[in-house]
Chain A
Amino acid sequence: MFLSINNVNKSFTNKGNTELVLSDIQLDVKEGEFVSILGPSGCGKSTLLSIVAGLATATEGSIELSGKTIKGPGKERGMVFQQAALFPWLTVEENVMFPLLPDMSKKEAQQKALYYLQKVQLSSYTKHSPHEISGGMQQRVAIARALAMDPALLLMDEPFGALDEQTRSRLHEIVEDIFLETKKTILFVTHSIAEALKLSDRIVVMGTQPGTILDIIELDFPRPRSQSKEDLIVYEEKIQSLLKSEIDKVTEKEQNHAASR
Chain B
Amino acid sequence: MQPAVKRIIFYVLLFAVWQGAVYAFEVSPSLLPAPTDVFVSLYEGFSNKTLLYDLLASFQRLFTGLAIALVLGLLLGVLLAKSKTADETLGSLILALQSVPSIVWLPLAIMWFGLNEMAVIFIVVLGATIVMTINVRTGIINVPPLFIKAAKTMNYRGFRLFRKVTIPASIPYAVTGIRLAWAFAWRALMAGELLSTGPGLGYSLRFASDFGDMSRVIAIMLMIMLIGIIVDLLFFQRVEKKVLKKWGLATE
Q: Which residues of chain A have a CB within 8 Å of any CB of chain B?
A: 50, 53-55, 73-75, 77-79, 81, 83, 85, 87-89, 98-99, 102, 129-131, 145-146, 149, 155
Contact = CB atoms under 8 A, between A and B. Distances in A.
A149 B168 CA distance: 22
A73 to B, nearest CB: 5
Contacts of A131: 245-246, 248
B149 A87 contact: no
A54 B156 CA distance: 13
B223 interface: no
Interface string B136-175: 0000000010110111111111001000110011010000
Given A78-B153, A79-B153, A85-B146, 4 more contacts: A73-B157, A98-B151, A102-B156, A145-B154
Nearest to A50: B149
A87 B146 contact: no
A102 B160 contact: yes
Contacts of A149: 154-155
B247 interface: yes
B152 A55 contact: yes
A81 B155 contact: no
Contacts of A53: 153
Given A88-B246, A89-B171, A74 B149 contact: no
A81 B150 contact: yes
Contacts of A77: 153
- Is chain A's binding surface mostly helix, strand, loop or mixed? loop
A184 to B, nearest CB: 15
Contact of B169 (A73, A87, A98): A87
Interface residues of B, number: 22
Nearest to B149: A55
A130 B154 CA distance: 18
Given A83-B146, A129-B246, A89 B168 contact: yes
Contacts of A50: 149
Contact of A73 (B146, B155, B168, B247): B155
B146 A81 contact: yes
B248 A88 contact: yes
A129 B154 CA distance: 20
A85 B148 CA distance: 9
A255 to B, nearest CB: 34
A87 B155 contact: no
Nearest to B245: A131
The 10 closest A-B pairs by CB, nearest first: A99-B154, A85-B150, A79-B153, A89-B168, A131-B248, A73-B152, A88-B247, A85-B146, A88-B248, A75-B155
A97 B16 CA distance: 61
Given A87-B169, A89-B247, A74 B155 contact: yes
A81 B154 contact: no
Contact of A79 (B150, B246, B248): B150
B153 A87 contact: no
A75 B171 CA distance: 28
Contacts of B171: 89
Contacts of B169: 87, 89
A138 B181 CA distance: 35
Interface in B108-162: 144, 146-147, 149-157, 160
A81 to B, nearest CB: 6
29 contacts: A50-B149, A54-B153, A55-B149, A55-B152, A73-B152, A74-B155, A79-B150, A79-B153, A81-B146, A81-B150, A83-B146, A85-B146, A85-B147, A87-B147, A87-B168, A88-B248, A89-B168, A89-B169, A89-B171, A89-B247, A98-B151, A99-B154, A99-B155, A129-B246, A131-B245, A131-B246, A131-B248, A146-B153, A149-B154
A155 B146 CA distance: 15
Nearest to B146: A85
Nearest to B150: A85
A83 B145 CA distance: 12
Contacts of A74: 155
A129 B171 CA distance: 16
Contacts of A145: 154
Contacts of B154: 73, 75, 78, 98-99, 145, 149
Interface in B229-252: 245-248
